[in-house]
Amino acid sequence: MSNRAYATFALLLLAPLAGCDIASDLIRVNVTGSVDVDGTAPAAYSLQLYSYNDNKAAFDTSYCFDSSDGDCYGRVKVGELNTPAQASDGGDLPVEWDGEEFTLSDVPADLLYVLVATGDDGSVICSTDVVGFDERTKVVTAASAITLSTDEGLDTFTLPRPVRLVCDAAATEPDAPANEPGGDPGGDDIPAGDDPSASWSSFQITDKNGGAIYADATSANATADVECNSNFPSVLQVKATAADAAQDTAFLRIQFGSGDAATFRTMEVPIVGGEIDQSFSLTGGYAVVQLDFDENLDGNGESYTVSFCDRADPPAQEMLVLLSWDKDDTDVDTHIFSQGSEVAYYSLSQPWGDLDIDDVDGFGPETFTSKPGVEGNLYEVKVHYYSDHGNGSTVATARVLYYDASTGETCDITASQSMNAYEWWNVGVFGPGLACPN
C-alpha cells in the first residue's frame, strides 16, 4: 500500500438530521473518487467530516442571495470548521487507495456532504479543494451537496468530479516576468505634458465603485483626498476621457517614492469609446499617477498628475495583489499562501491578509491586501481558473506590489498568462527581502 494509505480526507456534513443522531448503528456507505494533482503529489492527503449542526458558524449565508440556489446552506469558511465527525468505532473514517483513486468507507448514509481535501505533507504546499459547491456560485445547496442514500440498495457513491489540487515545494525566490518601467524623470516628480487638456478631456481617480471622487486632474495637477493610514483604499479607479476618440490604448504611469529613491512603473490600459475605466492598486505612501498615450515622458500625450500622501509617508500595507481577466461569465481565483495558511475564496481572511471579493462571473478585479502592521512576510501567489462556464480560455493578469520597509523600495510587477479551465498559474513568491524581479 502506498503512503496514501495513511492519508486522511475531509468530508463536510451539511444537512441536519431531523429527529436522529449519527450513531454507530446507522447504515454506512462507501464514497469513491480520485485526485488530480497539478505539480508535486504530496505523500498524504487530509480530510475530516464536519456536521452542519456542530459547525454553523463556519457557513456564510450572505452568499445565498440568488433565489435559484434553492435550499442554500451558504459558503463554507474552511478555517472555521472545528468539530469533526468520526467513524462508527469512534476513530477516523477509513480510506483505501488504488493509485490516484480512493475509497472512503463507514460514512453515514442519508446525509448531505461536502468533501474538503488538501495535501498533508510538510515538504510541499497544496491548495484546498471543496467538492459539493455549486460550480457556478460556490455556495452549498441541497442540489450541489453530496447526497448519500440507501434507496434502491445504493452502498457506494462516486464523486461527481475529481479532487483537484495544486501542490509544489515552497519557493524562495520571485519568478514572475516583469514589465520594464517607462520614462524616468531623473529624480524629480513626473511632469505634466505640454498641453494636458488637449490630450485628456477629463481625468479623475475614484474609489473602486466610482462613487467617491478622490482627485480631479482634468485641468490642473491634483492631490488626492485620501488618508495615508491603515484605511488607505487598496483598489482605486481611473476614469478618463481621451480628447481624440480614435485612441484605443493608453498607459498609466505610477511613481513610487520621491527624489533619487523614486521608482516608476507603467501599465497598459484600454480606451473604449474614448473612455478609460480602469482599476489599479497602491499600498499608500507617496505616489504620483499620470496617464499618457505612450510610455515616453516626451511632453506629448501626458495628462496632469495626481499625487498621494506626503513624501515621508510609508505604505500602509506591505503587499497587494490585483487579479483581473478578459473573459465575461468566467471564474478565476486568487490564492495567496503565507505562514502555513492560505487566503482564497473559501478562506477570505487570515491574520496576515485579506481577499476583498470572490468574483464568479468575469473580469475581476480580485484584490488581496496584507494586514497593516504585518511586516517581513513572504507571499506565494497562485491563480486558478476555477470554471469557464463553457466560455473557453481567458488571459489572466496579476499585478503584484510590495514594499520593503527595511530598504524603502516598492516593487511593482505585472504579468499575464493565457489559461484554460481548471489550470493553475504559479505567479511567483514575493515579499520584503527578495529582489524585485525587474
Q: φ and ψ at 120, to 5 degrees?
A: -130, 75
Name which of 94-103, 158-167, 172-181, 396-405 the model is least confident about: 172-181
Nearest Cα to Cα of residue 392 among 314, 313, 332 = 332
pLDDT-based confidence at residue 178 (cuts at 50, 70, 90): very low
pLDDT cut 90: percent of the chain above it: 39
Q: Which residue has the higher pLDDT, 47 or 331?
A: 331
- The string of pLDDT tens digits covering residues 72-81 is 888 999 888 8
Task: Give the pLDDT score at 312.
Answer: 84
Mean pLDDT value across the chain: 84
pLDDT-based confidence at residue 15 (cuts at 50, 70, 90): very low
Could you tell me if 419 and 385 are in contact, meaning their C-beta atoms sit under 8 angstroms apart?
A: yes
Task: Give the pLDDT score at 184.
Answer: 54
Burial level of 277, CB count in 10 A (0-12/13-18/19+)? middle
- The string of pLDDT tens digits covering residues 125-155 is 899 998 888 888 899 888 888 888 766 556 8
pLDDT-based confidence at residue 179 (cuts at 50, 70, 90): very low
Task: Give the pLDDT score at 69.
Answer: 52
Task: Give the pLDDT score at 7.
Answer: 44
- The string of pLDDT tens digits covering residues 232-249 is 887 899 999 999 989 999
Q: Which residue has the higher pLDDT, 1 or 229?
A: 229
Task: Give the pLDDT score at 10.
Answer: 52
Dihedral sign for Cα 139, 143, 144, 148, please. Answer: positive
Nearest Cα to Cα of residue 81 among 350, 347, 342 = 347
Query: Does position 11 have pLDDT exceeding 80, yes or no?
Result: no
- The string of pLDDT tens digits covering residues 261-281 is 787 888 888 899 999 998 888
pLDDT-based confidence at residue 293 (cuts at 50, 70, 90): very high
Query: Does position 292 have pLDDT exceeding 90, yes or no?
Result: yes
Q: φ and ψ at 133, to 5 degrees?
A: -70, 150
- The string of pLDDT tens digits covering residues 361-386 is 888 889 899 988 888 899 999 999 99
Burial level of 125, CB count in 10 A (0-12/13-18/19+)? buried
- The string of pLDDT tens digits covering residues 83-120 is 777 788 888 889 999 999 999 889 887 778 888 999 99
Could you tell me if 403 and 283 are in contact, meaning their C-beta atoms sit under 8 angstroms apart?
A: yes
Residue range 44-53: mean pLDDT, rounded: 79
Whole-angstrom Cα distance, residue 359 to residue 369?
A: 16
Q: φ and ψ at 303, to 5 degrees?
A: -85, 180
Task: Give the pLDDT score at 386.
Answer: 93
pLDDT cut 70: percent of the chain above it: 87
Q: Which residue has the higher pLDDT, 235 or 186?
A: 235
pLDDT-based confidence at residue 204 (cuts at 50, 70, 90): very high
Residue range 409-418: mean pLDDT, rounded: 87
Task: Give the pLDDT score at 354.
Answer: 92
